[in-house]
């Protein structure tokens, strides 16, 4: 329910997007005679500008025919929203620590778009689009180096990769050099060959170098967060755009047992054969595809481009040329697929792709460049001034203890109060920096203490710049201020709705039942049938089906358990026999639809009742150790015809057969012989639930329908006439209705607590505005 509540919060925010508080409205409008009060909630005024901001932002209707109704509807919604928020504020909910913490989290998220350079973002978006026009195939060599490595270590790795580059330029095979030197974990399997890729699929510096290097050429060393790379460009080709395919899938894991793998291959081949014979793709997909996300929509998948999915799947998809073309079955790590081409599209225009590219660029490694430029801008805008002397004094305190991350400072040091730098008028002292060092130091044995202190100082300055900017966003950006206020009101709305409506509707069983009794007429079943639909491949399958239905329960092929053999006149169980019975208990507990038939036998030389005693010993052990009595069928054969005339133990036995009344067992058996032979659906149905049931009379009996070469056999066991739903049957819809009832009752209380008074002249002016 928590997710549901959050969805409700989003809905509320969308509905009332742009609303401001009374306080902000007063500040902005009391001196403006053109912004009159249109209503009062108790003593709190509601201003014209507040309402129109919400109304216009949510698509207020301009058509004069509908405007009067639209204004009235929106005003009613808006005032009800304001009532709920006003009550939350009157209760002090906006002063609670939990509220402030949640709002702070939203503030952090909402502030992110204001912490990027929009002009740089636009440039990066355009560049990404230009890169998307081509797909590049490249190999690379990686020498790892930490982003924080000291200059001497970086220079060493840089020189090493320059030497490798020179060897490649002198004619040595690039892929062999990759196998010998690259520290990319995949190099031994791919020789450094990355296949084809396009924009936004590699880290940005790597991508940029790839697109700047000609085919056949080797790039200069490229530094990324992973280290130094060399790239050799094998090919460039125009973008293949995007392809949309549908697929029919039969799932099978690569490490599945051979029998399961063989069955999956037989099933996909059978489906392919039937497609080739002209059977409906959509019907075969709906009936037999094992991709639950796509089977009911013709198997259609989301469009994809190069590098977006498995190469074997991708290459077959792009190789299809004409709409409707069908591939042969192909195998991937997820199973078998048959692909059908739905559409091929060239690369979309920049205008079409810009919103998606903007979202990706802000999360891509390009954001590192944007962060650097942002920090450069903030240094200027917020007037960062550094004190070189204080910095020198601070760095002098770096000791070897930094290498072990146990560095401390002398809290009596007279230099702690020195100003290290200022951001506008705010001062940052040596002590604040030292506290940052204590909290963020990490074991770095390879770095000198002074170099570590320099890294931490740079991080401290950068974080201080961004933190200062975040703290002053409302001053710089009025739209951010209003947006944050919307979330403020939305959280309060959520809290009150959860308390007064959502939680109460779930926990108040007495209230639910009282509401149900008053409104029982709203919760009715239409006429329903209880029955089963058997969709058979042909009449021969249907004949076999009927034969097996008549002889239920159905035998289960596996597992099989050998009979327990007893010595003459013995009815007690041995430890070994108990171990076998434990296996039967486990089987029954794993599948409650299974039944075990227990058949007791006695030899001719034994008393007839001996077989019954053996049955009793077995059934007692099973039920006392976890088996359900309803899963046992006991058959006593007494002193029956001997199984063996020479081995009396075979006659003195208890035999087992695993059976089931579950029709899914029958379905699996028939489909094991030939895939897609039968599909069985049973349950309780109303009109419209099943297309085949809707074609026959709703009376107990059996019916047969021919359907595109298949035979549909229908058993209607009984017909339930329309009746009222019980409380439990109606509970899902009932809770939703009860929530609406509770909200209405709550609003009535709020209207009494904060009476609404409309200023009629201003409301009329709103309705007549042009």
Whether the pLDDT of residue 64 is over 60: the answer is: no
As a whole number, mean pLDDT of residues 440-466 equals 92
The stretch 248-257 carries a mean pLDDT of 90
pTM: 0.53
Whether 63 shows a pLDDT value over 70: the answer reads no
Has residue 246 got a pLDDT over 50?
yes
pLDDT tens column, 141-197: 999 998 888 888 899 999 999 999 999 999 999 999 999 999 999 898 889 999 899
Predicted confidence at residue 469, as pLDDT, reads: 93
Q: Give the integer Cα–Cα distance in Å for 497 and 744.
A: 11
Stretch among 371-375, 561-565, 678-682 having the lowest mean pLDDT: 371-375
Q: Rounded to 5 degrees, what are φ and ψ at 437?
A: -60, -45
pLDDT at 18 over 80: no
Cis check for the bond before 749: say yes or no (omega within 30 of 0).
no
- Please tell me the predicted confidence (pLDDT) of residue 726: 94
What mean pLDDT is reported for the chain? 89
**Listed residue (293, 288, 280, 300) closest to 264, CA to CA:** 288
Tell me what pLDDT residue 70 has.
82
The pLDDT, as a whole number, for residue 67 is 60
Token reading at 130: 């230009």
Residues 472-505: tens digit of each pLDDT = 998 888 778 878 888 998 999 999 999 999 999 9
pLDDT (tens digit, 9 = 90+) per residue, 513-523? 999 999 999 99
What gap in Å lies between CA 197 and CA 189, rounded to an integer?
18
Among residues 639, 577, 583, the alpha carbon closest in space to that of 608 is found at: 639
Q: By C-alpha distance, which of 133, 214, 142, 229 is closest to 185? A: 142
User: pLDDT value at position 152?
Assistant: 85
Is residue 136 a contact partner of residue 197, using CB atoms and an 8 Å limit? Answer: yes
Q: Is the pLDDT of residue 2 over 50?
A: no
Burial (CB count <10 Å: 0-12, 13-18, 19+), residue 211: middle
Q: How much is the pLDDT for 25?
A: 33
Which of 53-62, 130-139, 289-298 shows the lowest mean pLDDT across its residues? 53-62
Confidence of residue 646 (pLDDT cuts 50, 70, 90): low
Nearest 10 degrees: Cα torsion 401, 402, 404, 407: 60
Please, which residues bridge with residue 525 across strands? 723
DSSP state of 347: P
664: confidence class by pLDDT, cuts 50, 70, 90:
confident
The strand pair at 632-639 and 594-602 is best described as parallel
Mean pLDDT of 408-414: 94
How many Cβ atoms from other residues are within 10 Å of residue 225's Cβ?
11
CB 264 within 8 A of CB 336: yes
Segment 360-367 shows an average pLDDT of: 83
Q: When comparing pLDDT for 371 and 231, which is higher?
A: 231
DSSP string, 657-679: EEEE--HHHHHHHHHHHSTTSEE
Q: Is the pLDDT at 535 greater than 90, yes or no?
A: yes
Q: Which of 54-63, 174-183, 459-468, 645-654 has the lowest mean pLDDT?
A: 54-63
Positions of E strands within 484-541: 524-525, 528-536
Contact criterion met (CB below 8 Å) for 306 and 198: yes
**CA dist., res. 225 & res. 90, Å (int):** 52
pLDDT at 578: 95
E-assigned strand segments in 430-580? 524-525, 528-536, 554-555, 564-565
Axis crossing angle, helix 366-381 with helix 118-132, rounded to the nearest 10: 160
SS3 of 74, please? helix
Q: What is the rounded average pLDDT of the residues 81-109?
A: 93
Amino acid 69: pLDDT: 58
- Does residue 112 sit in helix, strand or coil? helix
Strands 330-332 and 222-224, how do they pair? Answer: unpaired
Model pLDDT, residue 604 = 86
The pairing of strands 419-423 and 426-429 is antiparallel
Packing angle between helix 539-550 and helix 663-673, nearest 10 degrees? Answer: 140
Dist CA 265 CA 279 (whole Å): 19
The confidence score (pLDDT) of residue 482 equals: 77
Q: How confident is the model at residue 679 (pLDDT cuts 50, 70, 90)?
A: very high
List Cα–Cα distances, 735 to 506, 513, 525, 610, in angstroms: 7, 10, 17, 59
Q: Is the pLDDT of residue 6 over 80?
A: no
Q: Rounded to whole angstroms, what are the CA distances from 557 to 357, 658, 669, 670, 747?
A: 56, 8, 8, 12, 63
* Confidence class for position 648, pLDDT limits 50, 70, 90: low
Longest Cα–Cα distance of the chain, Å, equals 115
């Amino acid at each position: 329910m928590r997710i549901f509540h959050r969805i409700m919060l989003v809905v509320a925010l969308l509905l009332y997007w742009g609303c401001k508080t009374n306080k902000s409205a007063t500040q902005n409008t009391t001196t403006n005679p053109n912004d009159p009060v249109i209503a009062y909630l108790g003593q709190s005024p509601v201003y014209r500008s507040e309402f129109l901001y919400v109304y216009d932002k949510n698509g207020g209707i301009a058509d004069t025919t509908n405007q009067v109704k639209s204004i009235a509807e929106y005003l009613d919604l808006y005032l009800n929203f304001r009532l709920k928020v006003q009550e939350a504020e009157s209760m002090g909910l906006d002063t609670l620590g939990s509220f402030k913490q949640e709002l702070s989290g939203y503030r952090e998220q909402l502030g992110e778009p204001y912490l990027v350079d929009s002009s740089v973002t636009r440039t990066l978006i355009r560049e990404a689009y230009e890169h998307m026009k081509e797909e590049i195939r490249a190999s690379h060599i990686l020498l790892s180096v930490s982003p924080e490595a000291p200059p001497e270590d970086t220079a060493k790795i840089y020189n090493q990769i320059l030497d490798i580059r020179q060897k490649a330029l002198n004619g040595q095979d690039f892929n062999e050099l990759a196998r010998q030197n690259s520290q990319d974990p995949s190099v031994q399997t791919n020789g450094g060959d990355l296949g084809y890729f396009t924009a936004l699929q590699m880290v940005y510096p790597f991508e940029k170098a790839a697109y700047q290097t000609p085919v056949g050429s080797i790039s200069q060393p490229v530094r990324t967060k992973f280290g130094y790379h060399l790239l050799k460009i094998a090919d460039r080709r125009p973008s293949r755009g995007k392809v949309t395919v549908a697929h029919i899938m039969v799932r099978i894991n690569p490490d599945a047992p051979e029998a399961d793998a063989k069955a999956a291959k037989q099933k996909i081949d059978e489906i392919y054969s039937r497609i080739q014979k002209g059977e409906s793709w959509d019907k075969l997909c709906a009936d037999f595809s094992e991709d639950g996300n796509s089977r009911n929509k013709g198997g259609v998948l989301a469009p994809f481009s190069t590098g977006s999915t498995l190469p074997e799947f991708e290459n077959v998809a792009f190789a299809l040329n004409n709409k409707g073309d069908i591939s042969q079955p192909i195998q991937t790590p997820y199973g078998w697929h048959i692909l059908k081409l739905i559409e091929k599209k060239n690369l979309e225009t920049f205008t079409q792709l810009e919103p998606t590219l903007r979202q990706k660029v802000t999360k891509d490694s390009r954001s590192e460049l944007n962060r650097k430029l942002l920090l450069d801008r903030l240094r200027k805008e917020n007037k960062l001034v550094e004190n070189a002397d204080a910095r020198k004094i601070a760095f002098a305190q770096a000791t070897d203890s930094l290498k072990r991350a146990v560095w401390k400072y002398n809290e009596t040091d007279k230099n702690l109060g020195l100003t290290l730098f200022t951001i506008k008028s705010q001062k940052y002292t040596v002590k604040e920096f030292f506290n940052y060092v204590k909290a963020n130091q990490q074991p770095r044995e390879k770095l000198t203490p002074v170099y570590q202190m320099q890294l931490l100082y740079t991080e401290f300055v950068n974080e201080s710049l961004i933190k200062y900017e975040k703290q002053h966003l409302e001053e710089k950006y009025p739209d951010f201020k209003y947006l944050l206020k919307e979330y403020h009101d939305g959280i309060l709305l959520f809290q009150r709705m959860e308390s007064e409506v959502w939680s109460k509707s779930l926990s108040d069983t007495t209230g639910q039942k009282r509401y149900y009794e008053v409104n029982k007429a709203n919760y009715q079943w239409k006429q329903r049938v209880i029955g089963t639909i058997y969709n058979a491949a042909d009449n021969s399958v249907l004949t076999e089906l009927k034969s097996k239905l008549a002889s239920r329960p159905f035998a289960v092929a596996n597992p099989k358990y050998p009979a327990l053999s007893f010595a003459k006149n013995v009815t007690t169980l041995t430890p070994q026999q108990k171990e076998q019975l434990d296996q039967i208990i486990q089987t029954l507990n794993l599948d409650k639809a299974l039944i075990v038939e227990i058949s007791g036998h006695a030899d001719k030389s034994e008393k007839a009742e001996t077989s019954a005693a053996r049955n009793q010993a077995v059934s007692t052990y099973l039920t006392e150790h976890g088996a359900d009595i309803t899963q046992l069928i006991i058959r006593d054969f007494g002193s029956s015809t001997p199984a063996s005339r020479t081995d009396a133990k075979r006659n003195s036995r208890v035999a087992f057969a695993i059976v089931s009344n579950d029709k899914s067992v029958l379905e699996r058996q028939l489909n094991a012989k030939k895939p897609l032979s039968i599909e069985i659906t049973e349950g309780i149905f109303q009109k419209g639930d099943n297309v085949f049931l809707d074609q026959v009379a709703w009376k107990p009996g059996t019916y047969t329908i021919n359907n595109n070469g298949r035979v549909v056999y229908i058993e209607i066991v009984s017909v339930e006439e329309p009746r009222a739903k019980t409380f439990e049957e109606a509970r899902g819809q009932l809770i939703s209705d009860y929530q609406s009832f509770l909200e209405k009752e709550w609003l009535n209380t709020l209207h009494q607590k904060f009476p609404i008074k409309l200023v009629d002249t201003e409301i009329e002016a709103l309705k007549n505005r042009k």
